[in-house]
């Protein structure tokens, strides 16, 4: 299955003999079969390549075995599967099966329908994971390892971080049994010391409110986070009095009478609905103040859990550095609050914090924890390489695609391209920006991005409705020159992975009138709140990406040129996709997205494409029917 895409055997200098056997120290990490499957290739601790399967199949959060991502990783390194010494899967299937079986039995007979639905796949495939992996990898004969789910998360957080030692916190929905864990990383080893177990889960609590407010489980959580500033946390007391028993150390128990995820296919029970005043909101129906207040409330509770946990872990470990992973670590609002509280001196967050990053963590766990590989860090620079770990296309391949498809374009040198794009942004144009290696993780970081002018009072609406085809309330993020970030935001540390929310500097913010202060919900949306209104959320915050040019020099030069024109070293950066579509991977993906939307310009490597010069796109099917809304 993979042979057609794999390269020849590696050269002898890449390998060494050990006990008469050729050892290459290549480790393939895999995550699959839940959501957001991915693959990663590591060589002696060096992250060579990583990508999510969805980028290749164009199926959002594709859970299937990541054969395309694996093929890419191997081809990027110029090796075949025969050159890989260890394959590592990101969790332990038998432990997960044990949890599912015990949960169903505990809630019998209520859990029977869900049990019967899930068992065939487990009995046919998931329990025989090692055999399935060997078969999918064309009979791979090397070792296959299975670290625990939260070990993979912890490894993905600590080993690429710049720290010689650090406290580790992982939080997500659930792995095998564990839903939250904390411990310490030191040198080339991690040690998880305390855990919270299923069904008590901060991730699942947040997901329950995601489902209840009408958004899609496992993808709509970030919408709840974005919706929260429109509401007031009026339900916090109800949550803490009824739903969650929260302790001072951040540990907690959930009252399972309010949930249905243990025994059914829905997240919340009728008791939950009664407590919060009605049935769940139907997807795509009108948002009301109630949903906004619910979002604000669960966000406030999540922040409190994270802050209490952080304080306790700092006290228990004495570590001044903190690393984070697990899906909850993508809550950049909570991350920003944790930073501002100064509980730890330094924080590093894995950019692929969810299950995709488990593939990376599993591979690194094998090299450092199992094989005792050497790890060297300097305390400042991480080993994640900007998270630019996906495929790239050289100029000859891009030009071949353009010519074969009869697509009009202009080829430019880098300086001319940057000057033209910066001028277009200054003139209010929306630009698709495709350059270099694709990002690993859910955030576009300037290689697969849609960019625009943050000074525009209408750009948020234009991008949401005409480009992204998504809800109007959702905010956009800024990419700012690292040297200018403190001039723009109340942020004194780099944020290269767009995982920290900070307030816009007060001197840039608009003073609200008494009438404007009284507005609620979506009424707040159209009130410009700063001199960079397109990236200023209704609470005067922004999810900041800092750009230093180290791993993405062309993007840095573009923002620098925009600053030369305008005085603003910042642009809007949103992922290059439409709602429900994975971030674009190939030039073909980028061109289709460009033509399906009202983007004005596409910068495809060294090639500039203008919308008005393009022939009409003829498709048999409306693209809105291709992608399931997230």
Token pair of 153 as six digits: 């998360």
Average pLDDT over residues 157-173: 98
Cα separations in angstroms, 239 against 43, 243, 256, 292, 384: 46, 5, 12, 15, 38
Residues 335-369 have pLDDT tens digits of 999 999 999 999 999 999 999 999 999 999 999 99
Give the start-to-end residue ranges of the domains of the chain: 3-149+360-373, 395-625
d(CA 25, CA 29): 13
d(CA 330, CA 317): 23
pLDDT of residue 478: 98
pLDDT of residue 309: 98
Residues 239-292 have pLDDT tens digits of 999 999 999 999 999 999 999 998 877 899 999 999 999 999 999 899 999 999
Mean confidence (pLDDT) of the chain? 92
pLDDT of residue 111: 67
Q: Are 274 and 268 in contact (CB under 8 A)?
A: no
Beta strand pairing call for 84-89 and 21-23: unpaired
pLDDT of residue 20: 46
The answer, yes or no, to whether residue 564 has pLDDT greater than 60, is yes
Buried b (16+ CB within 10 A) or exposed e, 558-590: bbbbbbeebebbbbbbbbbbbbbbbbbbbbebb
Q: What is the largest CA-CA distance in the chain?
A: 79
Cβ neighbours of residue 553 under 8 Å, at least 6 residues apart?
Answer: none
Residues 497-540 have pLDDT tens digits of 999 999 999 999 999 888 887 777 777 878 899 999 999 999 99
Q: How far apart are the first and last CA of the chain?
A: 31
Rg, the chain, Cα only: 24
The answer, yes or no, to whether residue 623 has pLDDT greater than 90, is no
Phi then psi for 443, rounded to 5 degrees? Answer: -100, 135
d(CA 29, CA 42): 8
**According to CATH, what is the number of the domain 3-149+360-373?**
3.30.420.40
pLDDT band at 593 (very low <50, low <70, confident <90, very high): very high
Count Cα atoms within 13 angstroms, Cβ side, for 357: 31
Following DSSP, what letter does each residue of 111-172 receive, concatenated?
Answer: THHHHHHHHHHHHHTGGGHHHHHHHHTTS--SEEE---HHHHHHHHHHTTSS-SEEEEEEE-
Average pLDDT over residues 298-305: 98
Give me the residue label for tokens 């959002």: 60
pLDDT of residue 101: 81
d(CA 337, CA 304): 10
Residues 438-473 have pLDDT tens digits of 999 999 999 999 999 999 999 988 898 888 888 888
Nearest CA to 335 among 436, 255, 225, 234? 225
pLDDT of residue 139: 76
pLDDT above 70 covers what percent of the chain? Answer: 95
Where is 325: in which H helix or E strand? strand 321-325
Cα separations in angstroms, 618 against 226, 545, 581, 588, 614: 35, 36, 19, 14, 12
pLDDT of residue 100: 83
The CATH superfamily label for domain 395-625 reads Carbamoyltransferase, C-terminal domain (3.90.870.20)
The answer, yes or no, to whether residue 7 has pLDDT greater than 90, is no
Residues 8-23 have pLDDT tens digits of 333 333 445 544 445 7
Cβ neighbours of residue 402 under 8 Å, at least 6 residues apart?
Answer: 409, 587, 604, 607
Instruction: State the DSSP code for 370.
Output: I
pLDDT band at 109 (very low <50, low <70, confident <90, very high): low
């Amino acid at each position: 299955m993979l042979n057609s895409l794999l390269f020849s055997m590696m050269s002898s200098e890449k390998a060494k003999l050990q006990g008469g056997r050729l050892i290459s120290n290549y480790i393939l990490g895999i995550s699959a079969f839940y959501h957001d499957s991915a693959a990663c290739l590591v060589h002696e601790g060096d992250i060579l390549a990583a990508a999510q399967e969805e980028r290749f199949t164009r199926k959002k959060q594709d859970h299937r075995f990541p054969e395309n991502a694996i093929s890419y990783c191997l081809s990027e390194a110029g090796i075949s599967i025969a050159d890989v010494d260890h394959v590592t899967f990101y969790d332990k299937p038998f432990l997960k099966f044990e949890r599912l079986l015990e949960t169903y039995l505990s809630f019998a007979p209520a859990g029977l329908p869900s049990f019967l639905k899930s068992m065939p796949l487990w009995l046919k495939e998931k329990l025989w994971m090692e055999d399935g992996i060997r078969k999918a990898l064309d009979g791979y004969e090397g070792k296959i390892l299975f670290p625990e789910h939260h070990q993979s998360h912890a490894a993905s957080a600590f080993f690429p971080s710049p720290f010689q030692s650090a406290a580790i916190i992982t939080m997500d929905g659930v792995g095998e049994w564990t839903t939250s864990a904390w411990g310490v990383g030191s040198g080339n080893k991690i040690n998880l010391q305390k855990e919270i177990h299923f069904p008590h889960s901060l991730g699942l609590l947040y997901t329950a409110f995601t489902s209840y407010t009408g958004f899609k489980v496992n993808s709509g959580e970030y919408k709840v986070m974005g919706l929260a500033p429109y509401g007031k946390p009026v339900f916090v007391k109800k949550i803490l009095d009824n739903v969650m028993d929260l302790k001072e150390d951040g540990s907690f128990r959930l009252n399972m009478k309010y949930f249905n995820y243990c025994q059914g296919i829905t997240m919340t029970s009728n008791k939950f609905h009664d407590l919060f005043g009605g049935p769940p909101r139907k997807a795509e129906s009108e948002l009301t103040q109630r949903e906004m207040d619910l979002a604000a409330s669960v966000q406030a509770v999540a922040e409190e859990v994270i802050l209490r946990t952080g304080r306790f872990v700092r006290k228990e470990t004495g570590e001044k550095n903190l690393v984070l992973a697990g899906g909850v670590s993508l809550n950049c609002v909570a991350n920003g609050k944790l930073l501002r509280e100064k509980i730890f001196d330094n924080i590093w967050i894995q950019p692929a914090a969810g299950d995709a990053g488990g593939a990376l963590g599993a591979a690194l766990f094998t090299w450092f924890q199992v094989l005792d590989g050497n790890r060297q860090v300097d305390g400042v620079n991480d080993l994640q390489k900007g998270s630019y770990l996906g495929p790239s296309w050289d100029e000859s391949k891009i030009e071949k695609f353009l010519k074969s498809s009869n697509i009009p374009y202009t080829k430019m040198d880098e300086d001319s391209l940057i000057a033209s794009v910066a001028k277009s942004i200054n003139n209010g144009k929306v630009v698709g920006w495709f350059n270099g290696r694709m990002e690993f993780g859910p955030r576009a970081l300037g290689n697969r991005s849609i960019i625009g002018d943050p000074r525009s009072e209408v750009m948020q609406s234009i991008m949401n409705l005409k480009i992204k085809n998504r809800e109007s309330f959702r905010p956009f993020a800024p990419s700012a020159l690292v040297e200018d970030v403190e001039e723009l935001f109340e942020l004194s540390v780099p944020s290269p992975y767009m995982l920290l929310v900070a307030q816009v500097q007060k001197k840039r913010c608009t003073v609200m009138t008494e009438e404007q202060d009284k507005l609620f919900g979506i009424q707040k949306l159209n009130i410009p709140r700063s001199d960079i209104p397109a990236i200023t959320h209704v609470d005067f915050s922004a999810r900041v990406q800092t750009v230093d040019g180290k791993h993405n020099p062309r993007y840095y030069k573009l923002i620098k040129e925009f600053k030369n024109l305008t005085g603003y070293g910042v642009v809007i950066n949103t992922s290059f996709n439409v709602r429900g579509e994975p971030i674009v991977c190939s030039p073909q993906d980028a061109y289709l997205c460009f033509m399906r939307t009202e983007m004005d310009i596409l910068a495809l490597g060294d090639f500039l494409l203008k919308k008005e010069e393009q022939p009409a796109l003829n498709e048999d099917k409306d693209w809105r029917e291709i992608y399931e809304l997230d």
